[in-house]
Amino acid sequence: MNDTKDSLENSKEQTGNASVVFINYNQTHGIVGDLMESGQDKFFVNTLGQSYLLTGSARQTADYLVNLAQATNGNLIVDAHSQGTLLTYVAMLNAKSELQNILKDKKDTTLKVGFYGSPINSEDSQA
């Protein structure tokens, strides 16, 4: 398990030291707590499409993504690892229309998303 400092260092290495990076770090709540949180987001949101059942961490991630996309005119690199990939993915599903509105008329915008050590199927993340 990585701490915040390791997450920052890993992100710098994986993104080529980009100027704006959103690191979705979610500290562990123990194996049972992490499984419950991940299960809620994966099953209810990813599988059943019930976004009103997002965990607080996923809702917060959606808010951060929208705010950062607005502040950077959509030029943003999102870097997530392990459970952070699930949080980021369901957050992006939840904020999809808002992110699309921010990006729709910006031809030179770069919004990149990187998932590492992900519990999300790569085919699902291309939605």
Compute the average pLDDT of residues 71-94. 83
Diameter of the chain measured on Cα atoms:
44
Dump pLDDT digits (tens) for 2-53.
666 766 666 666 666 556 666 666 667 788 887 888 888 887 766 676 777 7
Q: Is the pTM of this model over 0.75?
A: no
Neighbours of 12 (CB within 10 A): 14
Compute the average pLDDT of residues 98-116. 83
Domain ranges of the chain: 27-126
How far, in Å, are 32, 74, 80, 83, 110 from residue 94 at the CA level?
Answer: 25, 17, 17, 17, 20
Position 66 scores a pLDDT of 93
Position 121 scores a pLDDT of 58
